[in-house]
């Protein structure tokens, strides 16, 4: 991908909290991560988090896999984190992101922070406050709060999508932030993103779309592109989702044929649950550098908690007037198991995407 001139942003080093203190990746380090993945033919798992427990599970997984990675927050995740009495998605996202900045300093891998699907109607209430939070951090000599944001304009015509994207990318680029955009729709429903009623042709990005996106955005700043090739949010049995990775190949070819090999775009894979290993690995050949992992990690987190409850039901519940067992109904007793389950699934994702053992921590 032809890289536009990087921002002249100057960042002051942060003070760490541990012997191997490591802050969240700087804008330059995040760009180096994406470059390394593109050159090395691998991708970063991007996990949606909603709490301190899920943050810790993700950080532990990346560290144990010796993989850099991406932690992301959706509008629904931010709203949940703000509390049921507040329900402020941007505020909750800020709380979670600041926690990540502190907790990541205990690990020796690079972590980038990202926000997931934000539709046009939520830009002013979600993305704009987060960009302002980054602006304030930079004024204080720190890095931006997030390293990238996603604007999901797939719900509007491509021309309108790109007009909004160009304005947002300009604002992001001034802060050293990368913008992820989407053309075409990921099917299914997940965390407030519901395209289940759209016609099937909307699930496939065309080469013409990819060329239009590149030519509109490349002159402004660096971006990630979520092209769609039949991917669907949610959990499905193997074979239920019909992916066409060749769409990514053909779109990249259209861009590179016109603008040269350096124009290869950094692509994002949404809706990958149930994807066969062959399809997944094929997408890496066509420029996928980020794959969202949410449905599978939700299950991996919840399954051991349910097992704990079932195996300790008489201790968890005060049945027939008994007193129960505090050790089993203490939330820490089962949340630790949820964290471990999430961690194990994320390590699998690192192996699947070939990012294990490839951290560039200390090299960028």
69 pLDDT higher than 90: yes
284-331, pLDDT tens digit by residue?
999 999 999 999 999 999 999 999 999 999 999 999 999 999 999 999
Count of CB atoms situated within 10 Å of the CB of 32: 17
In the chain, where are the structural domains located?
A: 27-352
Report the range of poorest mean pLDDT among 23-27, 220-224, 251-255. 23-27
Q: Percent of the chain, pLDDT > 90?
A: 79
Fold assignment, 27-352: TIM Barrel (3.20.20)
Looking at residue 229, its pLDDT comes to 87
Write out the E strands in the chain: 44-48, 69-73, 111-115, 148-151, 178-183, 189-190, 193-194, 223-227, 267-269, 288-293
Q: Please give the positions annotated as active site.
A: 116
Q: Percent of the chain, pLDDT > 70?
A: 85
Q: 362 CB contacts (<8 Å, ≥6 apart)?
A: 108
191-230, pLDDT tens digit by residue?
554 444 444 555 688 999 999 999 999 999 999 999 988 8
Residue 183 pLDDT grade (very low, low, confident, very high; cuts 50, 70, 90): confident
Query: CA 139: distance to chain centroid?
Result: 26
């Amino acid at each position: 991908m032809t890289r536009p001139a990087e921002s002249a942003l100057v960042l002051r080093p942060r003070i760490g909290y541990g012997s191997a203190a490591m802050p969240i990746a700087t804008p330059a380090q995040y760009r180096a991560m994406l470059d390394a993945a593109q050159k090395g033919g691998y991708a970063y798992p991007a996990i949606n988090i909603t709490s301190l427990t899920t943050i810790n599970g993700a950080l532990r997984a990346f560290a144990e896999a010796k993989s850099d990675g991406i932690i992301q927050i959706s509008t629904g995740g931010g709203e949940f984190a703000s509390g049921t009495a507040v329900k402020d998605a941007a505020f909750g996202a800020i709380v979670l992101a600041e926690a990540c900045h502190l907790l990541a300093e205990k690990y020796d891998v690079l972590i980038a922070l990202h926000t997931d699907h934000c539709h046009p109607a939520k830009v002013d209430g979600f993305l704009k406050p987060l960009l302002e939070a980054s602006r304030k951090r930079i004024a204080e000599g720190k890095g931006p709060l997030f390293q990238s944001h996603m604007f999901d304009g797939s719900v509007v015509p491509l021309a309108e999508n790109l007009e909004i994207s160009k304005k947002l990318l300009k604002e992001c680029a001034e802060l050293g932030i990368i913008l992820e955009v989407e053309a075409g729709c990921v099917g299914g429903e997940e965390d407030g993103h519901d395209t289940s009623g759209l016609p099937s042709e909307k699930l496939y990005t065309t080469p013409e779309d990819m060329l239009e996106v590149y030519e509109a955005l490349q002159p402004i700043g660096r971006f990630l592109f979520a092209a769609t090739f039949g991917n669907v949010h949610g959990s499905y049995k193997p074979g239920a989702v019909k992916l066409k990775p060749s769409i990514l190949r053909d779109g990249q070819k259209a861009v590179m044929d016109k603008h040269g090999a350096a124009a290869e775009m950094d692509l994002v894979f949404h809706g990958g649950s149930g994807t066969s290993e062959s399809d997944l690995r094929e997408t890496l050949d066509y420029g996928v550098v980020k794959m969202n992992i949410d449905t599978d990690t939700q299950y991996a987190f919840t399954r051991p908690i349910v097992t704990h409850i079932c195996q300790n039901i008489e201790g968890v519940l005060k049945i027939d007037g008994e007193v129960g067992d505090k050790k089993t109904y203490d939330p820490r007793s089962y949340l630790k198991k949820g964290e471990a389950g999430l961690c194990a699934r994320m390590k699998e994702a690192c192996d699947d995407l070939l990012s294990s053992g490839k951290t560039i921590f200390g090299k960028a």
